[in-house]
Amino acid sequence: MTKVSYPPGVENHGGFLRIWFMYKGSRVREKLSIPDTPKNRKSAGDLRSAVCFAIKTGSFSYSAQFPDSINLSKFGEERIDITVGELCEKWLSLKEIDICNNTMGRYKSAARNTLPMLGEFTLLSSINQEKMMSLRKSLLTGMQNPKRGHKSIVKGRSVATVNFYMGVIYGMMGFAKANGYISENPMDGMSPLRRSKVEPDPLTRDEFVRLIDACSNRQVKNFWSLAVYTGLRHGEMCGIAWEDIDLKAGTLTVKRNHTLTKEFTPPKTDAGTDRVIILIDAALEVLRDQAELTRLGKQHEIDVVLREYKKKEVHKCTFVFNPSLHAKNGRSGNHYAVGSVNQSWEAAMRRAGLRYRKAYQSRHTYACWSLTAGANPNFIASQMGHANAQMVYQVYGKWMTDNDREQLAILNQKLSSFAPSMPHAKVV
Protein backbone atom coordinates (compact mmCIF):
# COMPACT_ATOMS: atom_id res chain seq x y z
CA MET A 1 0.00 0.00 0.00
CA THR A 2 1.40 3.35 -1.09
CA LYS A 3 1.83 5.88 1.67
CA VAL A 4 0.06 9.20 1.03
CA SER A 5 2.37 12.20 1.07
CA TYR A 6 1.11 15.58 2.32
CA PRO A 7 2.77 18.96 1.91
CA PRO A 8 4.07 20.54 5.15
CA GLY A 9 1.21 21.73 7.37
CA VAL A 10 -1.49 19.84 5.45
CA GLU A 11 -3.38 16.87 6.95
CA ASN A 12 -6.41 14.68 6.49
CA HIS A 13 -9.39 15.26 8.77
CA GLY A 14 -12.33 12.92 8.26
CA GLY A 15 -11.75 12.57 4.54
CA PHE A 16 -11.29 16.33 4.06
CA LEU A 17 -8.20 18.50 4.15
CA ARG A 18 -7.15 21.02 6.75
CA ILE A 19 -4.03 23.09 7.32
CA TRP A 20 -2.19 24.12 10.45
CA PHE A 21 0.18 27.02 11.05
CA MET A 22 1.63 29.11 13.87
CA TYR A 23 -0.04 32.47 14.55
CA LYS A 24 0.75 34.77 17.48
CA GLY A 25 2.53 31.96 19.31
CA SER A 26 -0.30 29.45 18.91
CA ARG A 27 -0.76 26.48 16.62
CA VAL A 28 -4.09 26.82 14.82
CA ARG A 29 -5.91 24.52 12.42
CA GLU A 30 -8.36 25.52 9.71
CA LYS A 31 -10.67 23.15 7.87
CA LEU A 32 -10.79 23.67 4.10
CA SER A 33 -13.91 21.57 3.42
CA ILE A 34 -12.40 20.06 0.27
CA PRO A 35 -11.94 16.30 -0.34
CA ASP A 36 -8.55 14.69 0.19
CA THR A 37 -7.28 14.25 -3.40
CA PRO A 38 -3.77 14.65 -4.84
CA LYS A 39 -4.74 17.85 -6.69
CA ASN A 40 -6.38 19.35 -3.59
CA ARG A 41 -3.37 18.44 -1.43
CA LYS A 42 -1.15 20.56 -3.66
CA SER A 43 -3.64 23.49 -3.55
CA ALA A 44 -3.85 23.21 0.25
CA GLY A 45 -0.04 23.25 0.47
CA ASP A 46 0.08 26.40 -1.68
CA LEU A 47 -2.52 28.06 0.55
CA ARG A 48 -0.64 27.15 3.69
CA SER A 49 2.61 28.55 2.24
CA ALA A 50 0.81 31.81 1.31
CA VAL A 51 -0.64 32.10 4.83
CA CYS A 52 2.77 31.57 6.45
CA PHE A 53 4.36 34.15 4.13
CA ALA A 54 1.62 36.71 4.94
CA ILE A 55 2.15 36.13 8.68
CA LYS A 56 5.89 36.67 8.34
CA THR A 57 5.47 39.87 6.34
CA GLY A 58 2.76 41.24 8.64
CA SER A 59 0.08 41.38 5.93
CA PHE A 60 -2.06 38.51 7.21
CA SER A 61 -5.71 39.21 8.13
CA TYR A 62 -7.33 36.27 9.87
CA SER A 63 -10.88 37.52 9.34
CA ALA A 64 -10.28 38.16 5.64
CA GLN A 65 -8.59 34.81 4.99
CA PHE A 66 -10.89 32.67 7.14
CA PRO A 67 -14.12 34.65 7.69
CA ASP A 68 -16.03 31.65 9.09
CA SER A 69 -13.29 30.48 11.46
CA ILE A 70 -14.09 29.66 15.07
CA ASN A 71 -10.60 30.97 15.90
CA LEU A 72 -11.43 34.63 15.18
CA SER A 73 -12.55 35.43 18.71
CA LYS A 74 -9.40 33.76 20.06
CA PHE A 75 -7.33 36.48 18.41
CA GLY A 76 -9.72 39.36 19.09
CA GLU A 77 -10.98 39.57 15.52
CA GLU A 78 -14.49 39.53 14.13
CA ARG A 79 -15.77 38.15 10.90
CA ILE A 80 -15.86 40.91 8.29
CA ASP A 81 -17.79 39.46 5.37
CA ILE A 82 -21.12 38.38 6.79
CA THR A 83 -24.45 37.67 5.17
CA VAL A 84 -27.35 40.10 5.09
CA GLY A 85 -29.32 37.81 7.40
CA GLU A 86 -26.51 37.65 9.95
CA LEU A 87 -26.09 41.43 9.91
CA CYS A 88 -29.82 41.94 10.42
CA GLU A 89 -29.95 39.54 13.36
CA LYS A 90 -26.95 41.17 15.03
CA TRP A 91 -28.20 44.72 14.47
CA LEU A 92 -31.70 44.02 15.77
CA SER A 93 -30.38 42.32 18.89
CA LEU A 94 -28.22 45.38 19.71
CA LYS A 95 -30.95 47.85 18.73
CA GLU A 96 -33.37 46.29 21.18
CA ILE A 97 -32.19 48.39 24.12
CA ASP A 98 -32.69 51.66 22.19
CA ILE A 99 -36.33 51.30 21.18
CA CYS A 100 -39.61 50.16 22.68
CA ASN A 101 -41.15 46.76 21.93
CA ASN A 102 -43.75 48.28 19.63
CA THR A 103 -41.07 49.93 17.46
CA MET A 104 -38.99 46.75 17.56
CA GLY A 105 -41.99 44.89 16.19
CA ARG A 106 -42.14 47.32 13.27
CA TYR A 107 -38.40 46.92 12.64
CA LYS A 108 -38.74 43.14 12.61
CA SER A 109 -41.66 43.43 10.20
CA ALA A 110 -39.49 45.54 7.88
CA ALA A 111 -36.73 42.92 8.04
CA ARG A 112 -39.17 40.07 7.50
CA ASN A 113 -40.52 41.69 4.33
CA THR A 114 -37.22 42.79 2.81
CA LEU A 115 -34.75 39.98 3.61
CA PRO A 116 -36.32 37.48 1.16
CA MET A 117 -35.89 40.06 -1.61
CA LEU A 118 -32.25 40.78 -0.79
CA GLY A 119 -31.46 37.16 -0.04
CA GLU A 120 -30.86 36.17 3.55
CA PHE A 121 -27.65 34.33 2.63
CA THR A 122 -26.36 37.01 0.27
CA LEU A 123 -22.94 38.30 1.30
CA LEU A 124 -23.14 41.87 2.53
CA SER A 125 -20.13 42.83 0.42
CA SER A 126 -22.11 42.08 -2.76
CA ILE A 127 -24.87 44.57 -1.95
CA ASN A 128 -24.61 47.74 -4.01
CA GLN A 129 -26.84 50.74 -4.67
CA GLU A 130 -28.39 49.14 -7.75
CA LYS A 131 -29.66 46.26 -5.63
CA MET A 132 -31.06 48.65 -3.04
CA MET A 133 -32.86 50.67 -5.71
CA SER A 134 -34.26 47.45 -7.20
CA LEU A 135 -35.46 46.45 -3.75
CA ARG A 136 -37.22 49.79 -3.31
CA LYS A 137 -38.92 49.43 -6.70
CA SER A 138 -40.04 45.86 -5.93
CA LEU A 139 -41.48 46.95 -2.59
CA LEU A 140 -43.43 49.74 -4.28
CA THR A 141 -44.69 47.92 -7.38
CA GLY A 142 -44.92 44.32 -6.15
CA MET A 143 -43.09 41.17 -7.14
CA GLN A 144 -43.23 37.37 -7.06
CA ASN A 145 -43.10 35.86 -3.60
CA PRO A 146 -39.63 34.22 -3.48
CA LYS A 147 -40.91 31.66 -0.96
CA ARG A 148 -43.91 30.51 -2.99
CA GLY A 149 -42.86 30.74 -6.60
CA HIS A 150 -44.34 32.45 -9.63
CA LYS A 151 -47.98 31.75 -8.71
CA SER A 152 -47.89 34.02 -5.67
CA ILE A 153 -47.48 37.76 -6.21
CA VAL A 154 -46.63 40.15 -3.39
CA LYS A 155 -48.64 43.35 -3.81
CA GLY A 156 -46.91 46.69 -3.81
CA ARG A 157 -46.71 48.72 -0.59
CA SER A 158 -47.60 52.35 -0.02
CA VAL A 159 -44.93 55.03 -0.34
CA ALA A 160 -44.99 55.58 3.43
CA THR A 161 -44.40 51.87 4.10
CA VAL A 162 -41.60 51.63 1.52
CA ASN A 163 -39.86 54.68 3.00
CA PHE A 164 -40.10 53.18 6.48
CA TYR A 165 -38.68 49.82 5.33
CA MET A 166 -35.82 51.51 3.49
CA GLY A 167 -35.14 53.71 6.50
CA VAL A 168 -34.74 50.63 8.67
CA ILE A 169 -32.33 49.08 6.18
CA TYR A 170 -30.40 52.35 5.94
CA GLY A 171 -29.86 52.24 9.70
CA MET A 172 -28.67 48.66 9.44
CA MET A 173 -26.24 49.49 6.63
CA GLY A 174 -24.95 52.47 8.58
CA PHE A 175 -24.23 50.12 11.48
CA ALA A 176 -22.35 47.81 9.08
CA LYS A 177 -20.20 50.67 7.79
CA ALA A 178 -19.43 51.97 11.28
CA ASN A 179 -18.22 48.55 12.36
CA GLY A 180 -16.08 47.75 9.34
CA TYR A 181 -18.29 45.18 7.63
CA ILE A 182 -18.50 47.42 4.55
CA SER A 183 -16.49 50.46 3.51
CA GLU A 184 -19.46 52.45 2.20
CA ASN A 185 -23.18 52.48 2.86
CA PRO A 186 -24.78 51.38 -0.46
CA MET A 187 -27.80 53.56 0.33
CA ASP A 188 -25.88 56.82 0.59
CA GLY A 189 -27.27 59.22 -1.98
CA MET A 190 -30.68 57.55 -2.13
CA SER A 191 -33.56 59.87 -1.25
CA PRO A 192 -36.91 58.82 0.21
CA LEU A 193 -39.73 58.42 -2.29
CA ARG A 194 -41.83 61.53 -2.68
CA ARG A 195 -45.21 61.47 -0.99
CA SER A 196 -48.29 63.40 -1.95
CA LYS A 197 -49.48 65.49 0.96
CA VAL A 198 -52.49 63.79 2.51
CA GLU A 199 -54.96 66.31 3.82
CA PRO A 200 -56.91 65.57 7.02
CA ASP A 201 -60.42 64.32 6.27
CA PRO A 202 -62.41 65.20 9.41
CA LEU A 203 -66.03 64.39 10.05
CA THR A 204 -68.58 67.11 9.61
CA ARG A 205 -70.90 67.74 12.53
CA ASP A 206 -73.73 65.94 10.72
CA GLU A 207 -71.50 62.95 9.98
CA PHE A 208 -70.37 62.85 13.60
CA VAL A 209 -73.98 62.67 14.82
CA ARG A 210 -74.75 59.89 12.35
CA LEU A 211 -71.61 57.97 13.39
CA ILE A 212 -72.44 58.13 17.11
CA ASP A 213 -76.05 57.11 16.46
CA ALA A 214 -74.77 54.07 14.55
CA CYS A 215 -72.49 52.85 17.36
CA SER A 216 -73.54 49.47 18.71
CA ASN A 217 -73.97 50.41 22.39
CA ARG A 218 -73.77 53.21 24.90
CA GLN A 219 -70.13 52.60 25.82
CA VAL A 220 -68.94 52.65 22.21
CA LYS A 221 -70.89 55.88 21.66
CA ASN A 222 -69.08 57.40 24.64
CA PHE A 223 -65.70 56.11 23.45
CA TRP A 224 -65.86 57.77 20.04
CA SER A 225 -67.49 60.91 21.39
CA LEU A 226 -64.64 61.38 23.86
CA ALA A 227 -62.04 60.58 21.16
CA VAL A 228 -63.40 63.42 19.00
CA TYR A 229 -63.81 65.84 21.93
CA THR A 230 -60.22 65.35 23.19
CA GLY A 231 -58.10 64.32 20.18
CA LEU A 232 -56.51 61.50 22.18
CA ARG A 233 -54.64 58.76 20.37
CA HIS A 234 -56.55 55.49 20.33
CA GLY A 235 -53.92 53.72 22.42
CA GLU A 236 -54.26 56.49 24.99
CA MET A 237 -58.05 56.12 24.92
CA CYS A 238 -57.66 52.41 25.69
CA GLY A 239 -55.51 53.21 28.74
CA ILE A 240 -57.69 55.88 30.38
CA ALA A 241 -58.51 55.08 34.03
CA TRP A 242 -60.83 56.87 36.44
CA GLU A 243 -57.78 57.48 38.62
CA ASP A 244 -56.54 59.84 35.85
CA ILE A 245 -59.69 62.00 35.76
CA ASP A 246 -60.78 64.95 37.90
CA LEU A 247 -64.36 65.75 36.90
CA LYS A 248 -64.55 68.67 39.31
CA ALA A 249 -61.42 70.34 37.91
CA GLY A 250 -62.34 69.26 34.37
CA THR A 251 -59.02 67.58 33.61
CA LEU A 252 -57.75 64.24 32.32
CA THR A 253 -54.11 63.24 32.79
CA VAL A 254 -52.68 61.03 30.03
CA LYS A 255 -50.35 58.54 31.72
CA ARG A 256 -50.19 55.50 29.44
CA ASN A 257 -50.66 54.21 25.91
CA HIS A 258 -51.70 50.72 24.77
CA THR A 259 -49.65 49.50 21.79
CA LEU A 260 -50.18 46.99 19.00
CA THR A 261 -47.87 44.62 20.90
CA LYS A 262 -50.55 44.58 23.63
CA GLU A 263 -48.53 46.25 26.32
CA PHE A 264 -48.85 49.54 28.15
CA THR A 265 -46.15 52.16 27.68
CA PRO A 266 -45.81 55.87 28.48
CA PRO A 267 -47.56 58.13 25.94
CA LYS A 268 -46.04 58.25 22.48
CA THR A 269 -43.75 61.27 22.86
CA ASP A 270 -41.82 62.89 25.66
CA ALA A 271 -44.08 65.91 25.22
CA GLY A 272 -47.07 63.65 25.85
CA THR A 273 -45.82 62.12 29.09
CA ASP A 274 -48.33 62.77 31.86
CA ARG A 275 -49.82 65.66 29.92
CA VAL A 276 -52.97 67.23 31.31
CA ILE A 277 -55.97 67.54 28.98
CA ILE A 278 -58.38 70.38 29.71
CA LEU A 279 -61.81 68.92 29.01
CA ILE A 280 -64.52 70.82 27.19
CA ASP A 281 -68.08 70.63 28.54
CA ALA A 282 -69.11 68.02 25.95
CA ALA A 283 -66.26 65.73 27.03
CA LEU A 284 -67.21 66.11 30.69
CA GLU A 285 -70.79 65.20 29.86
CA VAL A 286 -69.59 62.03 28.09
CA LEU A 287 -67.45 61.03 31.08
CA ARG A 288 -70.30 61.60 33.54
CA ASP A 289 -72.47 59.31 31.44
CA GLN A 290 -69.70 56.67 31.24
CA ALA A 291 -69.18 56.90 35.02
CA GLU A 292 -72.59 55.27 35.48
CA LEU A 293 -71.23 52.23 33.63
CA THR A 294 -67.67 51.74 34.92
CA ARG A 295 -66.75 54.18 37.71
CA LEU A 296 -67.42 51.59 40.43
CA GLY A 297 -65.71 48.78 38.50
CA LYS A 298 -62.82 46.66 39.69
CA GLN A 299 -59.39 48.23 40.02
CA HIS A 300 -56.58 46.36 38.25
CA GLU A 301 -52.80 46.45 38.62
CA ILE A 302 -51.06 46.68 35.26
CA ASP A 303 -47.43 46.81 34.19
CA VAL A 304 -46.34 49.88 32.23
CA VAL A 305 -43.15 49.26 30.24
CA LEU A 306 -40.93 52.33 30.62
CA ARG A 307 -38.54 53.73 28.02
CA GLU A 308 -35.53 52.63 30.05
CA TYR A 309 -34.59 49.11 28.98
CA LYS A 310 -36.26 46.35 31.04
CA LYS A 311 -37.83 48.86 33.43
CA LYS A 312 -41.50 48.71 34.43
CA GLU A 313 -43.83 50.33 36.90
CA VAL A 314 -47.20 49.27 38.25
CA HIS A 315 -50.31 51.42 37.73
CA LYS A 316 -53.60 50.86 39.55
CA CYS A 317 -56.38 51.38 37.03
CA THR A 318 -60.14 51.31 37.03
CA PHE A 319 -60.55 51.50 33.27
CA VAL A 320 -63.02 54.02 31.91
CA PHE A 321 -63.86 51.81 28.94
CA ASN A 322 -64.29 48.13 29.80
CA PRO A 323 -65.24 45.72 26.96
CA SER A 324 -66.44 43.05 29.40
CA LEU A 325 -69.63 45.11 29.89
CA HIS A 326 -70.98 43.93 26.56
CA ALA A 327 -69.01 40.71 26.05
CA LYS A 328 -71.09 37.78 24.85
CA ASN A 329 -68.51 35.02 25.30
CA GLY A 330 -67.04 36.14 28.64
CA ARG A 331 -63.53 36.25 27.21
CA SER A 332 -63.07 40.01 26.87
CA GLY A 333 -60.31 41.74 28.79
CA ASN A 334 -60.56 44.62 31.22
CA HIS A 335 -59.68 47.27 28.64
CA TYR A 336 -59.93 47.78 24.91
CA ALA A 337 -57.11 47.18 22.43
CA VAL A 338 -56.34 49.42 19.45
CA GLY A 339 -57.34 46.76 16.93
CA SER A 340 -60.78 46.19 18.45
CA VAL A 341 -61.67 49.90 18.68
CA ASN A 342 -60.72 50.37 15.03
CA GLN A 343 -63.15 47.59 14.16
CA SER A 344 -65.94 49.31 16.12
CA TRP A 345 -65.29 52.54 14.17
CA GLU A 346 -65.45 50.73 10.82
CA ALA A 347 -68.67 48.95 11.79
CA ALA A 348 -70.31 52.23 12.84
CA MET A 349 -69.19 53.92 9.61
CA ARG A 350 -70.82 51.16 7.56
CA ARG A 351 -74.07 51.25 9.54
CA ALA A 352 -74.21 55.04 9.25
CA GLY A 353 -73.66 54.85 5.49
CA LEU A 354 -70.74 57.27 5.67
CA ARG A 355 -67.87 57.59 3.22
CA TYR A 356 -65.05 55.47 4.61
CA ARG A 357 -62.32 57.11 6.64
CA LYS A 358 -59.71 55.55 8.90
CA ALA A 359 -60.37 55.69 12.61
CA TYR A 360 -57.43 58.09 13.07
CA GLN A 361 -59.67 60.80 11.60
CA SER A 362 -61.23 61.13 15.05
CA ARG A 363 -57.99 62.88 16.08
CA HIS A 364 -57.97 65.04 12.96
CA THR A 365 -61.61 65.94 13.59
CA TYR A 366 -60.74 67.34 17.02
CA ALA A 367 -57.89 69.44 15.63
CA CYS A 368 -59.87 70.80 12.67
CA TRP A 369 -62.94 71.61 14.73
CA SER A 370 -60.77 73.38 17.32
CA LEU A 371 -58.97 75.47 14.71
CA THR A 372 -62.25 76.38 13.03
CA ALA A 373 -63.52 77.53 16.42
CA GLY A 374 -60.50 79.85 16.69
CA ALA A 375 -58.43 77.93 19.25
CA ASN A 376 -54.74 78.82 19.65
CA PRO A 377 -52.50 76.32 17.74
CA ASN A 378 -50.14 76.10 20.71
CA PHE A 379 -53.04 75.09 22.95
CA ILE A 380 -54.14 72.45 20.44
CA ALA A 381 -50.58 71.08 20.20
CA SER A 382 -50.41 70.81 23.99
CA GLN A 383 -53.76 69.04 24.15
CA MET A 384 -52.77 66.55 21.44
CA GLY A 385 -49.33 65.79 22.87
CA HIS A 386 -47.14 67.47 20.24
CA ALA A 387 -43.85 69.01 21.39
CA ASN A 388 -44.81 72.33 19.77
CA ALA A 389 -47.26 73.87 17.32
CA GLN A 390 -45.15 73.06 14.24
CA MET A 391 -47.09 69.84 13.55
CA VAL A 392 -50.37 71.73 13.82
CA TYR A 393 -49.21 74.32 11.28
CA GLN A 394 -47.91 71.66 8.88
CA VAL A 395 -50.92 69.32 8.97
CA TYR A 396 -53.82 71.65 9.55
CA GLY A 397 -52.76 74.83 7.75
CA LYS A 398 -55.83 74.74 5.50
CA TRP A 399 -58.21 74.98 8.44
CA MET A 400 -56.22 77.87 9.86
CA THR A 401 -56.43 79.93 6.64
CA ASP A 402 -60.14 79.14 6.27
CA ASN A 403 -60.61 80.92 9.59
CA ASP A 404 -58.92 84.16 8.49
CA ARG A 405 -62.13 86.16 8.03
CA GLU A 406 -63.37 85.20 11.48
CA GLN A 407 -60.01 86.19 12.95
CA LEU A 408 -60.27 89.55 11.18
CA ALA A 409 -63.69 90.12 12.73
CA ILE A 410 -62.26 89.37 16.18
CA LEU A 411 -59.41 91.85 15.64
CA ASN A 412 -61.82 94.55 14.47
CA GLN A 413 -63.98 94.00 17.52
CA LYS A 414 -61.15 93.89 20.07
CA LEU A 415 -58.84 96.57 18.69
CA SER A 416 -61.25 99.17 17.43
CA SER A 417 -62.32 100.17 20.95
CA PHE A 418 -58.86 101.39 22.03
CA ALA A 419 -56.99 102.03 18.78
CA PRO A 420 -56.09 105.75 18.48
CA SER A 421 -58.29 107.66 16.07
CA MET A 422 -56.69 109.06 12.96
CA PRO A 423 -56.48 112.90 12.70
CA HIS A 424 -58.98 114.47 10.32
CA ALA A 425 -58.02 116.98 7.69
CA LYS A 426 -58.74 120.63 8.47
CA VAL A 427 -61.79 122.09 6.82
CA VAL A 428 -60.97 125.50 5.37
Catalytic residues: 233, 268, 363, 386, 396
Write out the E strands in 36-83: none
The stretches of 119-252 forming alpha helices (DSSP H) are: 129-141, 159-178, 205-214, 218-230, 234-238
Q: Are 62 and 221 in contact (CB under 8 A)?
A: no
**Do the bridges between strand 10-13 and strand 16-23 make them parallel or antiparallel, or are there none, so unpaired?**
antiparallel
Calpha distance 145→167 (Å, rounded): 22
Q: Are 230 and 279 in contact (CB under 8 A)?
A: yes
Calpha distance 35→141 (Å, rounded): 46
Using a 10 angstrom Cβ sphere, with 0-12 exposed, 13-18 middle and 19 or more buried, the burial of residue 285 is middle
Q: What order of strands is seen across the sheet that includes strand 245-246?
A: 245-246, 251-254, 275-278
Q: For residue 417, how many other CB atoms are within 10 A of its CB?
A: 7
HSE on the CB side for 134, CA within 13 Å?
9
Calpha distance 349→340 (Å, rounded): 14
